[in-house]
Structure 1
Amino acid sequence: MLPSRPSLSPAGQRSRISRRGLLASGGALGLGALLAACGDSEDAKSPEKKGSWSFKDDRGKTVKTNGTPKNVVAYIGAASALHDFGVECVGVFGPTKLENGKPDVQAGRIDVDKVEIIGNAWGEFSLEKYAALEPDLLVTTMNESPTLWYVPEESAKKIAALAPSVGILTGKASLTGVIDRFGELAASLGADLKAKKVTDAKARFEAAAESVRQAAKTAKAKKLKVMAVSATKDLLYVGTPDDFTDLRYYRELGVDFVTPDGVGEAGFFAELSWENADKYDADVILVDKRTGNLQPEDLKKSMPTWAKLPAVKAGQTVAWYNEPQFSHAGIAPLLESLATALQDAKKVA
């Protein structure tokens, strides 16, 4: 996403000119000078300047810039959604590449070799790499407003000094609403929401949602219960459908979920020791696919109580992408997979 750069005010030019030169000239000293320059310029913050681009994010904050942002850096999940709508980011942070160099599951359809990765795990965010990209805009998600996901708290002020940010609420929100918000942001950044790729994806999403709706009716007749889990060597985490945007949408389509008790104040999960892994009856289990969580094949080998669960013995486990790409292209295949699982599943618990 590197077409011609937008015109800049004199203050903006002073800030931009310094970025690479300062970084090249002196590492941390250069970065410190750059941050000071950005703070002094107050580009896109001064009330005397009227930005030609603006977007009201889910913090209720209206972000304005002098020209449509071109160099967009985003959390990998946000970058994936924008990609599906036709906007490419120059840099990403968050789980992007595995140790073997292959794309992380959260990278979606992004070519991970064509973007600058400024952080690949929790707490990683290279200010130097970020500044070198000359960012116009940072985009990330939020589980709760106004906390920006994967933006390290200890360096948040320095990150904010380099470029304005947009936060899209994805936690405890409407799934279709989140998709629409990413579509709105993408359109504001120049994407064509009438492009065939985009409209085809929406049609596929709508058809897939209907397939889940119909499969859920069949599942209800069979009295099937579905449980969503994340698994580690120490604990089994059972997801509560009230808190997950995707699970709540699936429930709206008719899927009958296990709702665990004992969910902590933070919400999202109830914790079970492996000795109590059979606490809830489930005929189909959605298993967190994110890197760092144990997968069904690993669990069968290392956790005897997992192998004894009726759904596991019946082979009725499905990958759960609980940080999905919030786009029609990202969600459609997940709906299709769920519909197939519900259609084929038998009552086993």
Structure 2
Amino acid sequence: MRVAIIGAGVAAPPHLRSLHDLRDRAEVAWAWGRDLQRLAAAGLPAGTRTTTRLEDVLEDQSVGAALVLTPPHTHLEIVERLAAAGKHVLVEKPVELTLARAEALVAACARHGVRLAVMLQHRASPAALQLADLIRSGSLGALTGASATVRWWRPQSYYDQPGRGTMARDGGGVLMTQAIHTLDLLLHLVGTPQRVLGLAATSPVHRMETEDQAAALLHWENGAIGVLDATTAAYPGYPERIALNFTQGTATLEAGALVVEQPGAETLRVGQAQASGSGANLMGFDHAGHRAVIADFLDAIAERRAPLTDGASALAVQRLIEAVLRSSTEGVAVRW
């Protein structure tokens, strides 16, 4: 599969490392960006053609797919053009700035019959895959409670960069930019709650437009209750954690390591804890999750199926994030 890289900024390195690992399955034919010097410094594979004209990618019929790694507010227009040209798309999270724009992007890919995946790599970890299988099997019973904790750290210098933590470029703060991965995995595992009561604010730790701390109560249709706790003001940054209580046991995922405990059964342990960019080094994580998502994306194209991180499924986490922020603003619970 000949692929194009659209944007070569801060999100690009784990994608490029993954494509290097998958070089027997994918060839990087083009890299598009607004600055050729920046593209030249991005560490692109030998032989990659660079351009500032998106038309070069759109008109190359040998290119079957594109990885869109530009800021969120640019995704809709770029993906609409790629989809119209028949290119399958993998887009960096979030899908778009707002739920409405994200829905329009998903609809564009469906309309043109191309696959759409989103880089929500937590779903693809071995621990998450095994936990999803366990939940589907019914061996853990029914969900009774859940918690998702993302207590990370970002220095002020991070938010001093142009566009960081703004609605215009990022579409939000800690929820949309950092906690989205953990929240997406929570929803992927146990479904979307029917009621959300949230609070969000900017702490005295940061000068920024959007929220650096958020909390919410979550209520599922079967009566299960959950809590969300997310921040980038917790120095020095701690591993993200999902804890799920079921009628027949408890499952805990922390930084990619799974522990499942059930009465009368041996404790199940899957995976090892991994760095996840929870501190000042935001790119301090292994690229195995990115590689797994890209490999699945290539498989999905070949097998004519939906990817593991299909764009339509990625809308759920944006609905939840918008519900938390709306609840905080209006002071009411948001229901579906």
Fold match by TM threshold 0.5: no
More strand by share: 2
More helix by share: 1
TM-score (norm 1): 0.31
TM-score (norm 2): 0.32
- Bigger relative contact order, structure 1 or 2, given CA contacts below 8 A and separation 6+? 2
Structure of greater Rg: 1
